[in-house]
Every structure is written in C-alpha cells, then in structure tokens.
Structure 1
Amino acid sequence: MIRYRHPAALTVVAILSGTLTSCDQSADDAAKTCLTGKLTYDHHDAEAGKDAAKALTNSVARNANWELRGKTSASGRTRLLASGVTDRNNGTFHACSDGPGPLPELYVRFRSSSTKLWRVIGPASKTEFTFETRHLRNVTGSNDLGSVKAPADQQGAWKIVDTLNDLYRKAAEANSSGSACWTRHQRSGKCDRLTFTWAADATKGGYWDPGSRNVVLEAEDANSKHLILHEAGHWLQFELYGHRDTDAPGCDGHPFDRTTTRGCAWTEGFADAVAAYSLGDYRYVYGDGSDFDLHNDPNTPWDKGDAVQGRIGSSLLDLWAKDGPDGGSWNKHIQLMTDHHSTDFNEYFTADRPKAGLPTTDAAKQILDDHTITY
C-alpha cells in the first residue's frame, strides 16, 4: 500500500550478470590473494505457505555488494582493496587483491545493497546493514570461506536485497534506452535508488511513503516476496511517471475484491500485478504465509468494475501474459507508463494504450470484459 498524505557508472549487463567486480576471475589466482565463498541468509518463506513460513529456510543473496578489506603491510591501515557484487544466480563471491601476498589481514564486508540501484537501511540508523567475514591473518593465495551466512537480526534485509533482483531484471528488460537505471528517465551512473527501511524489531510499515520516497516495512513484512515487490511497485510507478504522484483517495485498507476509487484501484492493482508478474504467478502473499488468489471472472463474488484493484491487477496480468495481446510481456506497457501519466485505468486503456500502439479491441477488450471492466 501507499501511505497517503493529505493532498497539498554501471551497465545493465554488469548488474544482470553479477560480474561487476574489480577481480578478474579468469586471471591466474596465483598472482592474487583471494577470498571466495557464497553469501546466504536464513529467512521465513511466506510464499511456501502458512505452515512452512513458521520455519527458517536458507537462500543465497544475489547481486549483493561486497568489499574486500585488509592491510597490505603490518603497520599499514585497513583499507578497501576491491569491491563487487555476488553472483546473480548462486550468490558466490570471488574477492581478490593484486599480488600473491602474504597480506597481514584480509576479510570481506557485505552491505545490504546492490550497486547503487537499491538498498535496505535501518529506520533508526538510516544506514545500510553490514557484517564481516572472519579476519584472516597472513593470507596468501586463494582461500575458500565456504557459506557465509548473514546475522540472524539482519536476515530480512538480505531477503529484501535478494528479492528486488526479480523486479529489477523485469524493469531492465523493458528499458530500451540502454540505461542501467530502473527507467529511461535517468542515465547510467545517475540512477534513482530504491530505498527500503526495515529492522528485525520494526513495528511500523507495509507502505511506500511518497514524502521520503522510501518503502517502509515492519519486521514480518520481509517474509513475503510479494509484499516486498508490491511496495516496490508503487515506487516504480512514481519513477515511470517522472516523479509525478497519482491521486488515490479512499485507499485505506483497499481490499482486493471491493470498490474503492478509480485512482486507488489503479495504483494498487498495478502494484499487485508488478509483484505477481515479477514472480511468475497470479496471487498476493501476506507476511504470515496466507495468500489471495487474483483469478476472477464475472461470476466471482467481487464488486465489479475499474474501481476494484483485483479486477485491474488481473487484467494487467492477462494483458502481459505470454500469449496475451501485449506481445508476451509487460515491456510495451512499461514504455507507455514512461511516456504517459494515466490517472486511472480508464485513461490508461482508452486514451494512452492507443497512443502507444497497444490494442484495445478483440482480445484486449475481452480480457477486460472477463474481469467486469467495460468501456
């Protein structure tokens, strides 16, 4: 949800491949001093269901920032020797300093961020979460640290960092400008950064705050990838619209199946669709593992029309579907939102889709009819 107020120098290839690093992994490690391993985190997996969400599961942290730090002489100061991101698929890191050593001290520090594109900070500290591997002494050659696990009180931060990869990859795929940023409104190296605030003891959250431009989560919210990506979807809409807000009155509570307002249903329906599309399903999952199925038709006992967020979210998912009228993805839709500020779903479908060359008849119209939206 949105917390509503009273009206008043990276490349896409680098971040997507996970190869952004100052260490050439193909080089002969005999000429370097390296620490290798895999960054992991324990977490509650709400997507696995209510019972499974009570237990901890372990996952790898993809595209997370690491820094190789140490001393190059016994009397020297600790300094930054190399930096990069963990692998995009398996969370591994290969952190190397030039020279075979020995180095008096060497360790890796991890930060709850991914390049300068997204980060997680504490609500009180306003800084990223960090932790370090054990400090090795008199280090030579390549040293495998094995699985390096984030501290228990930070696990939600790493879950957020890891989950946002699923949305960024979809956004980057739709960004035809060649910029590494979330949208083509910025150039590489000058990207807007998505910031989440979270803590293991946070009791306030579950919304995107237009004032601070941060997503605010309470502790349990980080259990759900859908919840994380839904709130990130609000930020993404704000970015696609060039920092223009969408008026969404009457949005307190905003149930999926009941009438609110056209503006509320548009913003919340889009955010629901962002999460489901990023994860490849058709639902919304709460932090406790319960979920809501977004499938619906004219016989589903929901309110009808384009002031119901579930009707809009499901319509968007069907338009973006592999065999859907928008070409099998959301790419053309994202370009439309970059060029046009739709105040509600009606304007989006009847006025802005024709401008973007997207269909509004035949299969597209049938999708809306199936979800009780008639124009």
Structure 2
Amino acid sequence: MTKKVRIARATVASTVLALAAIGLSGAPAQARTPADACVLNPSGSQSSLNEARSCFSVDAKMSRALAVKERATLTFTVTAAVTRAGVKVSAELPPNLRWVTRPAGTSQSSRLSRAPHRRGELQVADLTRSFTDGQTATYSGVVEAIAAGPAEISVTASADPSQARQTATDHVFLTVGATPAASRFGIAVNQNAGTTPYRGATPQPLVTSTNRKQPAVATLRPAAQVGRLGAASPGGTACATGTWNYTDKNGVGRPAISWRVEAWDRDSSGGDDLLASGLTGFSGEYNLCFDNTDGTSAGQDVYIRFTADNGNWRVQTRDGWIYNYVSGVDGEVLDNTTADFGWLQPGDPTHMRGAAAFAATQVTWNNVPGACWDMVGPCRAVVILWQPDSNDGTYYSLAGNDVHLAAVDPDSGITVSHEVTHSIMDDVYEDNFPSAPNCNPHNIIKVSSTGCAWTEGFAEWVPAMVFNDPFFRWPNGSSLNLESPTWGSSGWDNGPTVEGRVAGALIDLSDTNNEGTDRVGEGISNIWTTFQNHRSATFAQFWSHRGSDGFDVGNNALGSLFQSTIDFGFTG
C-alpha cells in the first residue's frame, strides 16, 4: 500500500486548473446555469457556517424566558428568495407551552410527538400562503407556560416538505422554571443526569448489519480485566452485567453500541476505584468481571459509568465535557455473583440526540473498511460537539478538527455521518484538505467547483453506503434521491463540478442497483482503498488514482459515471 503524499495547497490549485483546462477524454463542457437564488440560511439563529441553504429563511424569537403560568410573545419572520405558492408556515409548541393568542391568520391543530425531549401533544398554529421573490412576512402570538422543564419551539416554512431547498426551520430553546429566577433561554447540559431504566420494546439497531467491528479495547483501561459476556466468574471475583440503550426521535429504543463502560467501587473512605472497563456490545450489552476484594466490607459497592468516548470517536459539549452517565450503586456485591444492573439509558431525555449522534458515527465506523478511520497513517478520533440547545452547526471545522452539530442534527443519522466523513477525509489527508472554492454555500444539485463537488460528493456517498440508503436526509424530514437522477433530471446540473453527480457516480459504482448505463456493483472497498492511498483533490484526480491502484476504469465503470452525467470517455 502506497503512503499518501502531502501536496501543498498551491500545487493542488494548479493541478485542479490543469485538469479543468484539458478535460478528460473529450468530456462535454458544463453549460453555465442561472445563479441559484435559494442561498438563504434556513435558520435565523443557526451559525452562518451552517452548510445548508434554502429558498426560505425563518427567524424565531421569544420576547423573554418565562416561568410556569407566565406569558411571552413568540415572533417569527419568514423570508422568501423565490416566488412560491402554497407555502405552509407552522409554529409548534412543546407540551409544556400553550397558545393564548395564535398568530393572525393561523388555525390550530395538534400532533403527537414521541421524541424523548418533548414527548406528548404539540400545539400547532399554521397557515398556507404565497410568497414573492424577496418578500418578508412577520407573525406573532402569545404563549403561556403550563409546566416546568426544557422547551423546544420549532417554526417551519415549506413549499414542499420533501425537498430540503423548499423548507426552512428555526428553533427557540428555553427552560421553563417553576419560578422566574429558574427560567432562562437555552437548555443547560445536566452533567449529573445519571441513568434511568429503559422499559420499552427490545431495542433495535439503527442499521442491521452482519459486521461486528469494534474499536480496539486496548485504548481503554484496564483492558485485561474485561470479562466476556456469559463467562463464568472465577473464585474471588464478581461481575456486573446489563445493557445500555437510548431512545430515538420516534420513541424507538436503540442499543447504545461501542460506548465505554466501566465498573467502579464506591469508596466512602477515599477515591472510588476503577474495577474493570470495556465497550458495550452490538445489543448494548456488557459483562465486566473484577477482583472483588474490598478492604472495608464484604464486597464491592459497584456502580456503572457509561461514557460517549471509545478512543475513536466521542460526543462532547463545546467546553469539553464528554457525555457520561452513572448508575445507582449495587451495595456489597458478593464473591462469585453477578450484579445485574438491567436495561438503562441516559437519565435526561434532552441528551438522547447526543446518543443518536454517537450511534450514527458507530454505523459509519462499523461499515467502512479497515481497523481505523485512517488505514495508512495515525488515526485521529472524530470529535463531535453537540448540545441540546446548540445553534452552532452544521459543519466540520478544519481549524478545530471537530464536527459541529446543531441541536436537531442527530435526528438524521445521514447528516451526522456526512459531517463525520469530512472529519475522516481531513484525517486521511493529514490535515491537507483539498481546496474547495465556491463551496459556501453549496447546493447538491448545482455546479460549485471540482474541489467542492469531490469533498461534498464523497461525504454524501459514505452515508448512502453505510446506511444502505441512496437518499440524503435532513433533520427536518426533507430528503433527496442521489442515485436516480440522470441526464435531463429536472433542476440538476451535470458533470463532475456537481456534488450530487459525484455522489451518484460513486453510489452507482458501489451498489448493486444498476440502471441505465450503470453496470457495476463493486461495493465500498475499492473506492475506500483509493481514498486511503492517495490525496485526491478532485473526482477526476480520484479516477486517475483509481486506475493506478489497478481498479476498473474501463468502459463498464465509465458507464456508472455516465449514468450520473460524468463523461470521462464512455463509449456506450
């Protein structure tokens, strides 16, 4: 395996320009298209670094934080970049808020939410209207708090809920206090949330897979003490067993896989003692065995700590606190016995999205080849910054080497995996990320640049493969089919400067759902190997590197590219 070669950004730029100038095998030039008008940040409160762009923007504000029985005004402004009829504008209140006065012109309805952080009946005020290009409309209503706790208000404007570019959403996060002094904007991260029993149906994996790839337990301590599930307890030892889980946005239980799990002895006379550690398994299970000697009692006073960090990826707050949860204590566990801690999950429902982000990263890890993100050089942990009220997203920071997720992003595992893939590429390319001009904002279906199309298209292909789903899916429920569009597909630009075309070509190369001129279904390994061996700055350069690695660049493979409007010499 050839080691990747560092290429200075200036060299990359000249390479890109040279490839653009000469073309490949007479590929047709990309026709210039009208400027894309839909470049609004869909959320008025979200970071300008957010990668998403929309035909609409929504900016929602509350006049003040409020306590139980207090009232405040919710104001939201919708801006349209294009003329659209049938735009639905809706404002949803969580179960602990209610409408006193709805915004003018709206009707009221309700819907049931099963999401852990706002489970119950949501109060909805909505209307449908037309917008003209550049038009702004502002609405306001009076809201009353009816119960204490975290509150997430969402306001959406959509001409077509299935289309991300036609939908925009903003959120207001606040904590309703029992008293005004306890009320605040935002939702604080509870660092002492502990655990609570999971009582639902048997948790189902996020993705069903025959793969069973775990991070190296050697990254944890003390690995030598970790018992195997079902192993008999030797004399003088004891074990702790149970499962670790979380609940997703639809109220479905999921096993929390590959979390660090540790058994500790609670010691009132000094610091607590680490007894054993390992990783939760593919059903969220763990079984930790340890020397049960305790100098102060008949057995260990055992509790379990679950941490969203396994050495290869972690989820943490912006200030560096890694999400972790401590169970109750099973007092004086006796020799040759197993303490069953049962089925547990995070004790704070507002943390479930963080667990979902960890799970989406686990799906990515489990379904890409190799023993680590970087199969050739040093492997860097993927660091995910997330908080239950975060507006800092959605993007990967080259400066910080970390993924920034907005509060709602983990509602889409594909969105999480997309940003994680940017982190993987930065690691594999040894912090020499390709130049990607005309990439902020960028549009999946429109021309950007060869560098932007490659880096974004690759980061759309990986989630499609690891989730076995050719759609890109956004947290608000919008989606876009990346595989079926071909020549003449409405709204799509053509060629290797369009990220969606790069993603589609890679999907057609790797999956077995062949149509049109797509004749190849080789799986993920060949593409992943070339990605690991070289620092490709564009899709054209990747194709050249693929050929040098000995993989198919003949007419059959070119047909898969041609199906996605990338013509590198396909002859039919």
TM-score by length of 2: 0.56
- The whole-number CA distance in structure 2 between the counterparts of 1:74 and 1:287 is 45
Can you list the C-alpha shifts for 1:140-167, whole angstroms capped at 9, x where unaligned?
2212121101131321221122221221
- The whole-number CA distance in structure 2 between the counterparts of 1:216 and 1:129 is 15
Equivalence for 1:138: 332
Offset at 1:361? 2.3
Which structure dedicates a bigger proportion of its chain to strand? 2
Q: Is the 8 A contact 1:326 1:358 kept in 2?
A: no
Equivalent residue letter for 1:346: A
- The whole-number CA distance in structure 2 between the counterparts of 1:227 and 1:13 is 23
The reply to whether residue 311 of structure 1 matches residue 505 of structure 2 is: no
- The whole-number CA distance in structure 2 between the counterparts of 1:17 and 1:186 is 16
Offset at 1:56? 2.6
Q: Is the 8 A contact 1:205 1:217 kept in 2?
A: yes
TM-score by length of 1: 0.84
Q: Is the 8 A contact 2:508 2:520 kept in 1?
A: no
Q: Is the 8 A contact 2:280 2:286 kept in 1?
A: yes
Equivalence for 1:160: 357
Helix, strand or coil at the partner of 2:455? helix
- Gaps of at least 5 residues in structure 1 are 5-11, 45-54
Offset at 1:253? 2.9
Equivalence for 1:186: 377
Equivalence for 2:277: 83
- The whole-number CA distance in structure 1 between the counterparts of 2:519 and 2:392 is 40
Equivalent residue letter for 2:533: D
- The whole-number CA distance in structure 2 between the counterparts of 1:252 and 1:159 is 27
1:26-175 superposed matches below 5 A: 27-29=231-233, 31=235, 32-44=237-249, 55-71=250-266, 75-87=269-281, 89-99=282-292, 102-113=298-309, 115-123=310-318, 125-140=319-334, 141-150=337-346, 151-171=348-368, 173=369, 175=370
- The whole-number CA distance in structure 2 between the counterparts of 1:248 and 1:371 is 21
Can you list the C-alpha shifts for 1:287-332, whole angstroms capped at 9, x where unaligned?
1222111121113111111111111101001111248877722212
Equivalent residue letter for 1:111: T
| CA-based RMSD | 2.6
Equivalence for 1:299: 488
Change (3 A) 1:234 1:286: same
- Larger Rg, first or second structure (1 or 2): 2
Q: Which has the higher contact order (CA 8 A, sep 6+)?
A: 1
1:349-360 superposed matches below 5 A: 349=543, 351-360=544-553
Offset at 1:197? 0.3
Identity across matched positions, percent: 24
Can you list the C-alpha shifts for 1:256-279, whole angstroms capped at 9, x where unaligned?
111111111111110000111111
- The whole-number CA distance in structure 2 between the counterparts of 1:339 and 1:214 is 23
Equivalence for 2:385: 197
Can you list the C-alpha shifts for 1:47-76, whole angstroms capped at 9, x where unaligned?
xxxxxxxx43221100110111114x7645
Of 331-340 and 93-102, the range deviating more from structure 2: 93-102
- The whole-number CA distance in structure 2 between the counterparts of 1:312 and 1:81 is 50
- The whole-number CA distance in structure 2 between the counterparts of 1:60 and 1:170 is 17
Helix, strand or coil at the partner of 1:219? coil
- The whole-number CA distance in structure 2 between the counterparts of 1:94 and 1:329 is 35
- The whole-number CA distance in structure 1 between the counterparts of 2:268 and 2:457 is 59
1:14-25 superposed matches below 5 A: 15=214, 22-25=225-228
Helix, strand or coil at the partner of 1:329? coil
Q: Is the 8 A contact 1:3 1:210 kept in 2?
A: no
Q: What is the aligned counterpart of 1:277 among 465, 469, 477?
A: 465
Change (3 A) 1:325 1:244: farther
The reply to whether residue 370 of structure 1 matches residue 567 of structure 2 is: no
Of 194-203 and 143-152, the range deviating more from structure 2: 143-152
Q: Is the 8 A contact 2:453 2:498 kept in 1?
A: yes
- The whole-number CA distance in structure 2 between the counterparts of 1:330 and 1:139 is 47
Helix, strand or coil at the partner of 2:390? coil
Q: Is the 8 A contact 1:3 1:209 kept in 2?
A: no
Equivalent residue letter for 1:297: T
Offset at 1:200? 0.6
